[in-house]
Amino acid sequence: MAELRVFPLCCVAQSYAWGKVGLESEVAKLLASGDPLVHIEPERPYAELWMGAHPKGDAVIRDNRIPQQTLGQWIADNPGCLGAKVKDTFDGQLPFLFKVLSVNTALSIQAHPNKELAAKLHAQFPEHYPDTNHKPEMAIALTPFEGLCGFRPVEEIVSFLQTVPELRALIGDVAAEQLERSVSDDPRGVSAALRVCFTRMMKSEKKFFVDQLNMLVKRISQEAAEGKDTSGSNGDLLLRLHSQYPGDIGCFTIYFLNLVRLEPGEAMFLGANEPHAYLHGDCIECMACSDNTVRAGLTPKFIDVLTLCEMLNYTPAPSSSKIFPATQSQLDPSVYLYDPPVPDFTIMRIEIPSSIKLYLVSAVDSASILLVIQGMAVGTSTAAASEMTLRRGSVLFISANESISLHLSSPDGMLLFRACCLL
């Protein structure tokens, strides 16, 4: 029998409180569909599905002919599966963690350090910053998806400073006027003024910002009750976030950060120092292997306002510029590539049309993880023990330079996502 280098995985669900609950969650739906024996608890949040070898959620190998129980153990014993370049570049580790997220309530306002800052933070505060790696992330919407990402164009922030007096009170007239005047400045002047305003807001005294937030919520609620348009104060979003995180300074960040809405298949890339928060919806996510997150609001977890305000990228840009383009592969028109400007990962969206009955998942010089979102097929590979039934929710590990033939059995084609590392 040939060496087993392609096999199915049983992946780990994480129950963070912000996740969608029971079968409302895409994570739970994929688990239930991928394995009919899985029991979905109706009250439990199914926030994230981890498809990888992270020690806090190492995938279990679904093939009892393989002696190692988990993907992490198997890769440690078979590092050649990563592909020669990936193995050498990333010290024999799978460089990415692939996920599905089902977001019900907002995640914290956060940013991730670059490698230099990660090393510094880890040396100073290892309890909060557990490793020395950067953590670029990419999210691809599975359902309509909302998040905050990057600083708004300065004209939008200035407009909020003029229509939301509770926000202006936190920042103070001097800093607000400096930002207003900076509109005609060079980009460096704008960034400097923006940094001052955002930092003043984030560092305001707790009692003061809670009072201002309560006044703002009361005012918007009254205006909404009277049937007035509250969009000038971003009213709907403010009330929604305040109901999730009452009294949290993060509620005010909606006046600084872009609201980005992704349709299924659209992506956003979160590079180092980019402020962001996921708000609602289901997505595919891929990230470099790291736990380094600097948080500053919309969370009960440890927050580090000073570090966050210091590190951020204060470059204003419109919401539309935050959508990361996918490119159709020249070699295979079924494949759309999301290739971020970091070496750690690339994601492929594979849309097999209903006219194709036999499809080759091609070999790449990297280990990869394949997730079935839609459709059914029987998969065969010279590196697999036997035929594999692939259905919605199935997850496969594919070693470098191995391919799989899919014999489609569903009439509507298939939708797959594949994470790999193309160096």
Catalytic residues: 295
CA nearest to 412, candidates 363, 357, 347: 357
Which residue number, 75 or 286, has a Cβ lying nearer to Zn ion?
Answer: 286
Identify residue 415 by its one-letter amino acid code. Answer: L
Q: Which of residues 189-218 bind Zn ion (CB under 5 A)?
A: none
- Rounded CA gap, 409 and 236, in Å? 45
Taking the complex as a whole, the smallest distance from the CB of residue 206 to Zn ion amounts, in Å, to 25
Applying CB under 5 A, the site for Zn ion has a residue count of: 1
- Rounded CA gap, 37 and 110, in Å? 37
- Nearest-Å Rg of the Cα atoms of the chain is 23
What are the start-end ranges of the H helices in 55-124? 71-77, 84-89, 115-124
Which residue number, 137 or 402, has a Cβ lying nearer to Zn ion?
Answer: 137
By the 10 Å C-beta count (0-12 exposed, 13-18 middle, 19+ buried), 400 is classed as buried
Taking the complex as a whole, the smallest distance from the CB of residue 111 to Zn ion amounts, in Å, to 7
Site string for Zn ion, 109-138 (x = CB under 5 A): ----------------------------x-
Which residue number, 137 or 282, has a Cβ lying nearer to Zn ion?
Answer: 137
Q: What is the separation, in whole angstroms, between the first and last Cα of the chain?
A: 31
Taking the complex as a whole, the smallest distance from the CB of residue 137 to Zn ion amounts, in Å, to 5
By the 10 Å C-beta count (0-12 exposed, 13-18 middle, 19+ buried), 66 is classed as middle
What are the start-end ranges of the H helices in 93-205? 115-124, 154-163, 165-171, 173-182, 187-202
Residue 410, both tokens? 């569903």
Which residue number, 99 or 349, has a Cβ lying nearer to Zn ion?
Answer: 99
Taking the complex as a whole, the smallest distance from the CB of residue 29 to Zn ion amounts, in Å, to 23
Taking the complex as a whole, the smallest distance from the CB of residue 107 to Zn ion amounts, in Å, to 8
Tell me which residues touch Zn ion (CB under 5 A): 137
